Amino acid sequence: MSPKRPLAKLALAAAVLLALPAAPAAAATIESTSSNWAGYAVARKGTRFRRVSGTWVQPAVTCTGDRAYSAYWVGLGGYRTTSQALEQIGTAADCDSTGTAHYTAWYELVPAAAVTVKLNVRAGDTIAASVAVSAHRVRLHLVDRTTGAAVTRTLRAVTVDTTSAEWMAEAPSLCDERGFCATQPLADFGTASFTAARATTTGGHAGAIRDPAWSAVAISLEDLPDGDPRFAGDMTSAGGATPGALSSTGDAFSISFAGSSPAPGQVA
């Protein structure tokens, strides 16, 4: 996804550093913070999901000559601090040291590393993606609706997590060979707009982020140097990002870089 570095790898969710409460039974939007995620997650005790889908406009990052990274994705699992797996697919928008922006597509089955796929992505393209899980079979699909190019992978995962569904922007983490991870600087992506955000449970119920069948969590990305003690000292400043309110249909929202205020359900 991002340029490889000696003895290190960029991981999208090697450490999901969330400070999240348990999802209550009532369908209410909860506000929470993370050191690497910004967006929405849905969950409810006893509920399992079989599919998540969403559409976003690939953000154009502003590069200033410093390395910075960002990722945009939909996924299942990884919401809880005890989670051992996450199935996700999305795009990236990164800046190298020359001030050049790079746009790529990728998937990841945590705890394995992210895999870059051969699909040309450009800023402003409309991206649609989905993840579906049945037992240990994971189907990942991403299509660039602007160009028509698409990629589908069907893989077997040793461990899966289907207790949550997510629509996120992320500051990726840099992990060394010992497994120590540090959140990297977040690229200035301006605004990332998500639409058609839906999830389906194993029982067959399909709904938007705002649905009485589960609880929605609005997650803001903030520097949390004193967050999860398991990762104390392993984080660098990542910048910030904030999700806006959900649209009236409950399936659209925007995420703004560095705390600018998005309008409810703002889309590009």
pLDDT in tens, 83-94: 999 999 999 999
Q: pLDDT tens digits, residue range 34-54? A: 999 999 999 999 999 999 999
Q: pLDDT tens digits, residue range 227-253? A: 433 333 344 455 799 999 999 999 999
Question: Could you tell me the pLDDT band of residue 29, with boundaries at 50, 70 and 90?
Answer: confident
Average pLDDT, the chain: 85
pLDDT value at position 180?
82
Residue 268 in any domain: the answer is: no
For the chain, the domain total comes to 1
Residue 102 in any domain: the answer is: yes
Does residue 5 register a pLDDT over 50? no
Residue 72 in any domain: the answer is: yes
Residue 3 in any domain: the answer is: no
pLDDT value at position 177?
82
Residue 61 in any domain: the answer is: yes
Residue 54 in any domain: the answer is: yes
Query: Residue 135's domain spans which residues?
Result: 8-257
Helix%, strand%, coil% for the chain, nearest 5? 0, 50, 50
Using CA atoms, how far residue 184 sits from 7, 152, 162, 174, 260, in Å, is 16, 28, 27, 6, 20
Q: What is the CATH number of the domain that holds 200?
A: 2.60.120.700
pTM, 2 dp: 0.85
